[in-house]
Amino acid sequence: MKLVYTDEAIDDLKRLREFIAVHNPTAATRIASELVGKIELLPDFPKLGTPVEMAPVPDSVRDMIFGKYVVRYSVHASTIIILRVWHSLEGER
């Protein structure tokens, strides 16, 4: 399965890393690396996240929780699309 990031998801990852780096650059690097590592599991385990019930097709849009971070993605026949990434305190994107 192919893994694709939307522009919004890329911006989210950059924003989160920059925010953490202001307070702790080492933690920013570590968290970013761990988050991307978890995302890279999705092609092998596409059902890892929980379905987003309010999605038009709930089983095709899922949320993977990693610590305090949420990765929203959609599952397609040969592709996983990373839609958004946010910290749980930010609220749903």
In degrees, rounded to 5, the angle at the alpha carbon of residue 43 between the alpha carbons of residues 93 and 56 is 45
CATH topology for the 2-90 domain? YaeB-like fold (3.30.2310)
Ordered per-residue pLDDT tens for the chain, 93 residues: 999 999 999 999 999 999 999 999 999 999 999 999 999 999 999 999 999 988 888 789 999 999 999 999 999 999 999 999 999 877 665
Burial group, residue 33, by CB count within 10 angstroms (0-12, 13-18, 19+): exposed
Q: What is the pLDDT of residue 88?
A: 81
Domain definitions of the chain by residue range: 2-90
Between CA 51 and CA 4 the distance in angstroms is: 19
What pLDDT is attached to residue 93?
Answer: 57
